[in-house]
A and B are shown apart, each in its own frame.
Chain A
Amino acid sequence: MTREELRVTREELRKELTEALAPVLDAEASTWLAGARERVGGDAGAAAVLLPAVGRRCGRGPLPVRGTLRRGRPASWTVDDAARVVLLLELPCTGEALTARLDDLYRHGDAHERRAVLRSLDALGAEVGGAALPLLHDALRTNDTRLVAAAVGPYGAARLPAPAWRQAVLKCVFTGVPLSVVAGLDDRADAELTRMMTDYARERTAAGRDVPADVARFLEVR
């Protein structure tokens, strides 16, 4: 999919995630989430306490999703990821205030909360512009595949400068994040990325090691 096709608005994503969550949340979790959404919608500060509680309130299992939420990528949603993103989509602010709030929630978040902030940028990216890029750079400095995978979503595809984006793709290869989760890979892959992948494959072969299947497939179509 192209970067254009990956675009989604706050309302669209909120609706899609809400629909996906409805059949899997039990009555207690559902009531809790509805209350939490209302609280965040009325007071952005409430998110600091509510986001960390999502896993234990709503569950953490895989979330079955339909076509639109996949956006050409694996159906990589869990219940807690989706519920946290829904809460973030309720934040009653935009522009600079939204950037500052997301920055705070990321900086003080555990790995799950950080991942949710990164994933919320799929929709909120349009409202913060490039101002959330430092969060992606932070995530891409870790070797935590949960964060690396979340940083190569649609926001990263649209906003990461070319050198950082290529490094991010290579980092996926090195940390074992499947390239199928890289949003807009075919759209954005350029000659320089192909050269980097080719060099990597050569290095592996010279060392008597296998070329990862993902890299071989990537190079096959170039």
Chain B
Amino acid sequence: MRIFDPHIHMTSRTTDDYERMYQAGVRALVEPAFWLGQPRTSVGSFVDYFDGLVGWEPFRAAQFGIRHHCTMALNPKEANDPRCRPVLDLLPRYLEKDGVVAVGEVGYDSMTPEEDEVFARQLALAAEHDLPVLVHTPHRDKAAGTRRSLDVVRESGLPPERVVIDHLNEVTVGPVADSGCWMGFSIYPDTKMDEDRMVAILREYGTERMLVNSAADWGRSDPLKTRRTGEAMLAAGFTDDDVDQVLWRNPVEFYGQSGRLVLDVPADAGTLFEGNSVLRGTPA
């Protein structure tokens, strides 16, 4: 089973996780820029975080044979802090970077006017930099937040096939399916979705435009939930090809719209040979 986790916060995971993910079949992932538990108070800490997403973290992932990409944005929660707002001025430079395959996570947290403004501005940035968009839907008042997100996306004029609406569930999947946007699901141990409910949604809505992620971060989460979902699909009678579509071909198709996915085996992970190995990183 080859797996592309389209949404996972590796910055908060250990090398044990990378090892287990590789063993489970994970060969590529996307790490969206988001908040970090402790609210940031200055632009400088965003710079360091963004640099890590295009520097240290892809290097670390490559040591374990996994291709790391990321999305960049000012997240909705911190969009409410005026001290963080100038992050928007930094984004154009980061949105040109090789490993950046979408604008995200954008969207709503508490649905404030500040969030409205920052969301709309970043959708415009996605158009300018020719990138797809990853939209986070709020945990509180989710159904209303999802509808409002779809309205904002529609008003932006972005083609729906370049947008994924994430963290969906039984209640919010319907309108997103109708909109033409991609549907994202985060499979968690206790919150959001679990793998059996995910299988039921796949039965009802099919396997197209579906993205399944573990969204693993610093909270209670499991980076192998993608694999568990694949297993649950097989147990429920889906074919190997269905699993491959959901866990590999779909994320490749969605993020591939950036033109920046690199899916070869990282040279870093292999043996040491003269030349390439030094620059791509050598095993210690």
Interface residues of A (CB under 8 A from B): 48-49, 52-53, 55-56, 60, 62, 74-78, 81, 108, 110-112, 114-115, 142, 144-146, 149-150, 174-178, 181
B98 with A56: CB separation less than 8 A: yes
Known contacts A108-B93, A112-B98; A145 and B281 CB within 8 A of each other: yes
Contact B282 A60 (CB under 8 A): no
Q: Say yes or no: A56 contacts B280, CB within 8 Å.
A: no
**Contact, CB under 8 Å: A52 / B262:** no
Chain A residues near B171: list those with CB within 8 A: none
Residue contact A145 to B96, C-beta cutoff 8 Å: no
Q: How far is the CB of B272 from chain A (nearest CB, A)?
A: 8
Among B58, B97, B262, B279, point to the contact of A81 (Cβ < 8 A): B279
Contact B96 A53 (CB under 8 A): yes
Cβ–Cβ < 8 Å partners of A142 in chain B: 55-56
One of A49, A53, A114, A145 near B278 (C-beta < 8 A) = A145
Contact, CB under 8 Å: A111 / B59: yes
CB <8 Å contact, B282 and A77: no
- CB contacts under 8 Å to A, within B226-284, are 259-260, 262, 272, 274-276, 278-284
Q: Is the CB of A178 within 8 A of B278?
A: yes
A78 to B264, CA, bound (A): 15
Contact yes or no, B279 A78, CB < 8 A: yes
Chain B, residue nearest A51 (CB): B96
Asked if A52 contacts B283 (CB within 8 A), the reply is no
Question: Is B32 an interface residue, CB under 8 A from the partner?
Answer: no
Distance in angstroms from B244 CB to nearest chain A CB is: 26
Closest 7 CB pairs of A and B: A110-B54, A176-B284, A111-B55, A176-B282, A52-B96, A145-B281, A76-B278
Closest to A48 in B: B93
Find out whether the CB atom of B282 lies under 8 angstroms from the CB atom of A145.
yes
The reply to whether A56 and B97 form a contact with Cβ atoms under 8 Å apart is no
**Per a CB cutoff under 8 Å, which of B97, B275, B282 touches A75?**
B275
Interface residue count on the B side (C-beta < 8 Å)? 25
Please measure, in the bound complex, the distance between the C-alpha atom of A75 and the C-alpha atom of B279, giving whole angstroms: 10
List B residues at the A interface (Cβ < 8 Å). Answer: 51, 54-56, 58-59, 93, 96-99, 259-260, 262, 272, 274-276, 278-284
| Shortest beta-carbon distance from B259 to chain A in Å | 6
- Would A111 and B96 be within 8 Å (CB), given that A62-B276, A145-B278, A176-B284 are in contact? no
- 17 example contacts (A-B, Cβ-Cβ < 8 A) are as follows A53-B98, A55-B98, A56-B259, A56-B260, A62-B275, A62-B276, A76-B276, A77-B275, A78-B276, A108-B93, A112-B98, A114-B55, A144-B55, A145-B281, A145-B282, A176-B282, A178-B272
In whole angstroms, how far apart are the Cα atoms of A108 and B97 in the complex? 10
A108 to B50 Cα, complex, angstroms: 10
CA separation between A177 and B282, bound complex, in Å? 6
Question: In the complex, how many angstroms separate the beta carbon of A183 from the nearest chain B beta carbon?
Answer: 12
Closest B residue to A145 by beta carbon equals B281
Contact of A60 among B93, B262, B278 (CB under 8 A): B262
- Interchain CB contact under 8 A, A52 and B98: yes
Take A111-B59, A146-B59, A146-B281 as given contacts and tell me if A52 and B276 are in contact as well, using a CB distance cutoff of 8 Å. no
Provide the residues of chain B in CB contact with A53, threshold 8 Å: 96, 98
Q: Pick from B259, B262, B281, B284: contact of A144, CB below 8 A.
A: B281
With A144-B59, A175-B284: A115-B96 Cβ-Cβ less than 8 Å: no
Q: Which of A74, A108, A146 contacts B275 (CB 8 A)?
A: A74
Inter-chain contacts of B58 with A (CB < 8 A): 111
A49 to B259, CA, bound (A): 16
Docked CA distance A212–B248 (Å): 40
Contacts of B51 in A (CB 8 A): 110
Q: A149: which B residues are within 8 A, CB to CB?
A: 278-279
Cα-based distance from A23 to B262 in the complex (angstroms):
23
Task: Given contacts A111-B58, A144-B56, A181-B278, list 13 more A-B pairs with CB under 8 A.
Answer: A48-B93, A49-B96, A53-B96, A62-B276, A75-B275, A77-B275, A77-B279, A78-B279, A110-B51, A144-B281, A146-B59, A149-B279, A178-B278
